[in-house]
Amino acid sequence: MQRKRPFPWLRIAVHILGWLPLVIIFYLYTRNALTINPIQDIEQRLGRIAIYWLVGALAVTPLHILTGWRDLPLRRRATGLYAFMYTCLHILVFMGLDYGFVFSQIFSLILGKVYLWVGALAFLLLLPLAATSFDYFIRKMGRDWKRLHWLVYPAALVAVLHYALAQKGDIFTLRGHIVAPFLWLLLTILLLVMRIPPLRRWIIRTRRQTVERIRRFSASRKAGGDGERAIPTKITK
C-alpha cells in the first residue's frame, strides 16, 4: 500500500510568508499608511525583508541540527529564493522609482557611497547562488554546487554590513539606529558558528540524548513505574 504523504503545511506556510510582506506593503501603500516618503519607505522595507529571508535561509541548517526536523532542509531553496526576490525588488525600487533608471546617475551614486558598494557586493555574491538554484545545476555541478553555495555566508555578512552602514548612527559606538542591524549581525554569526563540525556534532548528540531520555521517561510512566528512577544517569548510545 502506498504511504499517504503528510499535508505539506510547512511548504504552504513558507509561500504564504513569502508573499505576505508584498501584500502588506501594497495594502499600506493603498491606505496611505507609509511614511511621508513612500518610495524610501518601500525600499527600506524590501531591504529589511530581504535580510530576514537571507538570515532565515542561513537558519535552516542550524534549526535542522537543533530539532532534527527532516522537512526543514527541503524548504531551504524557497527561503533563499525569497531572499533574492526581495533583494531584487529592493534594488529595482532604488533604481527605478528613486532614480528612474538613469544609470549614469545610479553608478556615480553607488561609487560615491561605501554602503552602496557594500550592498552591490552582497548582490553580486547572491547572484550566482540564485542563478544555480535549479535542479539542473545541482545535478550538473555535483560537489562544486555545494562549494559555490558556501558563498551564502559572506553574502549574508556583507548584506548585514550594508544594512548597518545604511543606518544613521555609529556602528562602533552603537549609537543611532544601529541596534537592529547589530542584532542581525550577532544572529548571523551565531548561525555560522553552529555549523562548526565539533559543535554541530555536540548539538546533535545532546539532542538525541535528550529525546531518548524523554522517550524512556514517558515509556516508564505509561508502564506505571517511577519515571524519575527510570531515567538512566548516563546514556551510552
Nearest-approach distance from CB 218 to ligand HEM, in angstroms: 44
18 part of the interface to ligand HEM, by CB under 6 A: no
Tell me whether residue 57 is exposed, middle or buried, using C-beta atoms within 10 angstroms of its C-beta: 0 to 12, 13 to 18, 19 or more. buried
Binding to ligand HEM, residues 146-205 (CB under 6 A):
159, 162-163, 166-167
122-141 as b/e: b if 16+ CB within 10 A: bbebbeebbebbeeeeeeee
Which one of the spans 87-95, 131-139, 190-198, 200-208 is the region binding ligand HEM (CB under 6 A)? 87-95
Residue 94 in the binding site for ligand HEM (CB under 6 A): yes
Element (H, E) at 204: helix 197-222
Q: Which of 42, 55, 59, 91 binds ligand HEM (CB under 6 A)?
A: 91
| Least distance CB 79 / ligand HEM (angstroms) | 13
39 and 28 in contact (C-beta within 8 Å)?
no
Looking at beta carbons, which residue is closest to ligand HEM? 47
Distance CA 209, CA 214 (A): 9
Strand partners of residue 76: none
Q: Is 59 in the site for ligand HEM (CB under 6 A)?
A: no
Q: Tell me which of 10, 22, 120, 192 binds ligand HEM, using CB under 6 A.
A: 120
**Near ligand HEM by CB under 6 A: residue from 17, 38, 40, 209:** 40
Q: Per the structure block, which three cell numbers stand in for 46?
A: 524590501
H or E element at residue 176: strand 175-176
Provide the binding-site residues for ligand HEM, judged by CB under 6 A: 40, 43-44, 47-48, 50-51, 54, 87, 90-91, 94, 110, 116, 119-120, 122-123, 159, 162-163, 166-167
